[in-house]
């Protein structure tokens, strides 16, 4: 079975590549700044949130580089939000192609993950610029050898996001209401993810519920390395790896079990 999957992927990798290139070009079509928006957007959002929370709400995190703290949470959550929203409609919007010839359906949500991943890696540029220019002796935020562990957090994040993308793109074929429902879910999800605040300010009774959110652990993994210059603890490694693989497996199996019926509904 695994050999068939890899053979199938190899056969259609050209199509996947073309879809990724198309999605990336379409995103910045007729945009004056183009790909520069991938660098500006997280910086602008970080600036707005920093002003609001630092000056209006008087929120502070002593000993922590709050700008970097914000930017890590924003880049991770924005990747998940943008990817899943795009992937959700990936099958339905490609209905003409699906109805005309055979192509493996997983190509469509997967292309959204890869195209958005390009933007994600571009956002790491402003993140590292902020680390360089706002570092101080008061915080441990600096570029160290431990940053070599960061790709693990990206792998966990990508597996999780791909799994969610498979689930949403499957549901969207049979239930178009999911487009409206998911918009509400993402808004709630954002506030239940510690992007702008630290989980310690939440009541101890509520903290276990927030920790059920896999994004909390992926973001914490990256923050431990970047902000605290420490290796994430064993529990963080286990939860990140387990949750990402589990969600990916559930999404892939659901998509595979339903894909043959897509042609009757798209």
Instruction: Select the more confidently predicted residue: 241 or 56.
Output: 241
Instruction: Select the more confidently predicted residue: 82 or 12.
Output: 82
Structure tokens at 237: 């490694």
Q: Categorize the per-residue pLDDT at 2 as very low, low, confident or very high, splitting at 50, 70 and 90.
A: very low
Percent of the chain with pLDDT over 70: 87
Domain region containing 10? 2-264
Query: pTM (2 decimals)?
Result: 0.89
Distance CA 53, CA 90 (A): 36
Q: What is the pLDDT of residue 218?
A: 97
Instruction: Select the more confidently predicted residue: 155 or 142.
Output: 155
Domain count, the chain: 1
């Amino acid at each position: 079975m695994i050999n068939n999957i890899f053979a199938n992927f190899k056969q259609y990798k050209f199509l996947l590549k073309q879809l990724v290139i198309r999605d990336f070009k379409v995103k910045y079509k007729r945009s004056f700044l183009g790909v520069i928006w991938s660098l500006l957007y997280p910086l602008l959002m970080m600036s707005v949130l920093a002003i609001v929370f630092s000056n209006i709400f008087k929120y502070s995190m002593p000993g922590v580089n709050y700008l970097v703290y914000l930017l890590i949470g924003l880049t991770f959550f924005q990747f998940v939000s943008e990817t899943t929203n795009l992937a959700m409609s990936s099958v339905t919007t490609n209905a003409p192609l699906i109805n005309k010839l055979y192509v493996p359906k997983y190509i469509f949500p997967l292309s959204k993950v890869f195209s958005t991943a390009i933007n994600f890696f571009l956002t790491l540029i402003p993140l590292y610029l902020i680390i360089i220019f706002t570092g101080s002796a008061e915080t441990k935020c600096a570029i160290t050898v431990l940053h070599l562990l960061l790709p693990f957090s990206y792998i966990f994040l990508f597996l999780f996001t791909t799994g969610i993308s498979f689930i949403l793109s499957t549901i969207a074929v049979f239930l178009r209401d999911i487009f409206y429902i998911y918009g509400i879910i993402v808004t709630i999800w954002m506030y239940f993810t510690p992007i702008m605040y630290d989980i310690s300010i939440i009541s101890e009774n509520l903290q276990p519920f927030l920790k059920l959110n896999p994004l909390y652990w992926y973001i914490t993994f990256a923050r431990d390395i970047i902000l605290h210059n420490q290796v994430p603890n064993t529990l963080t490694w286990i939860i990140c790896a387990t949750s990402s693989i589990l969600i990916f497996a559930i999404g892939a199996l659901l998509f595979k079990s339903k894909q043959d019926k897509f042609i009757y509904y798209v």
